[in-house]
Amino acid sequence: MAVNDTQKEVVFKPITNLTFHFQCHKGIACFTHCCAALNLVLTPYDIIRLKQHLKISSDEFLDRYTETKYTKSHRFPLIYLKMNQDEGAKCPFVTSDGCNVYPDRPGACRIYPLGRAASNAPIRTGRQEKFFIVEEEHCLGFQETREWSVEEWLANQGVNEYNAMNDLWSEILTSTKDLGPAKDIQKKMQMFSMASYNLDRFREFIFESRFFQLFQVEEEKREVLASEDVELMKFAFEWLKYSLFGEKTIELREKTLDSEDPRRRV
């Protein structure tokens, strides 16, 4: 979720009667006021959509628009959208006419004014989720007459696709599985950052190393990974489960010796 540091009060409310009233548009007095001083965590899928929209590399996007933070509540590094260095600390993508990356805006922006709480249970067991209203005192959108159900809002704003992609990553981010010996933690954090946030470098990693000599990946799959970022992202998540936690998500080639640790060699 994105949190606006400039606002005095944020209230989290249950959704009564299964519907809520909200509309945001250029004619409203508070238009774009919420697009400033945000603590907005970017997910891997957010980064893919934004860098593709801007037609820039992963390196350039990360250098220009993000900052990395470590928090006590997460053991992995998180990427935040970097606000402008001006008095209002505005989002770098906001203009007087609104968001200039609107078709590919982050999931946290899409879902607002809703919040979502989801269980950390594996997706295969059926993820539990709950939605609520995030009401900031500056926002006049709640005074509009447009009425929505949660399902209508999620579909209208394109949230469902983002949630599906982000839930795959959340399984890694929230995992409590052991990361192994302390001496390997730094390298694993570097691997997490590359595979999560810098797909261009992760693609170089698997195609320019001995990766495919050690792991069984069909030729057709390799062709997809060479050109499709979303599929590469999903593959990166499978690799992270293997490299971080030792899960058997990627198949070793038969000739790989059991005594060798491919995670060290690639």
DSSP-assigned states of every residue in 182-214? GGGHHHHHHHHHHHHH-HHHHHHHHHHSSHHHH
Residue 206 tokens read as 């698997």
E strands, the chain, in order = 3-4, 10-13, 19-21, 38-39, 41-42, 66-69, 78-81, 94-95, 98-99, 114-118, 129-136, 147-149
Give the span between the Cα atoms of 152 and 160, in whole angstroms: 11
Q: Where are the domains of the chain?
A: 3-173, 182-265
Closest to 197 in 3D by CA, of 71, 74, 72, 50? 50
The separation between the first and the last C-alpha atoms of the chain, rounded to the nearest angstrom, is: 35
User: Residue 241: enclosing H or E segment and its boundaries?
Assistant: helix 229-245
Q: Which residue carries 């539990």 as its tokens?
A: 128
State residue 3's pLDDT score.
45
CA distance 196 to 239: 10
pTM of the model: 0.90
Long-range contacts, stretch 122-127, CB < 8 angstroms, 24+ apart: 122/171, 123/167, 123/168, 123/171, 127/167
According to the model, what pLDDT value does residue 261 have?
56
How far apart are alpha carbons 184 and 230 in whole angstroms?
28
Question: Which residue numbers in the chain have pLDDT < 50?
Answer: 1, 3-8, 259
Residues 6+ apart with CB under 8 A from 72: none
Phi first, then psi, for residue 111 (nearest 5°) are -75, -25
Total residues belonging to the chain:
266
What is the pLDDT at residue 105? 98
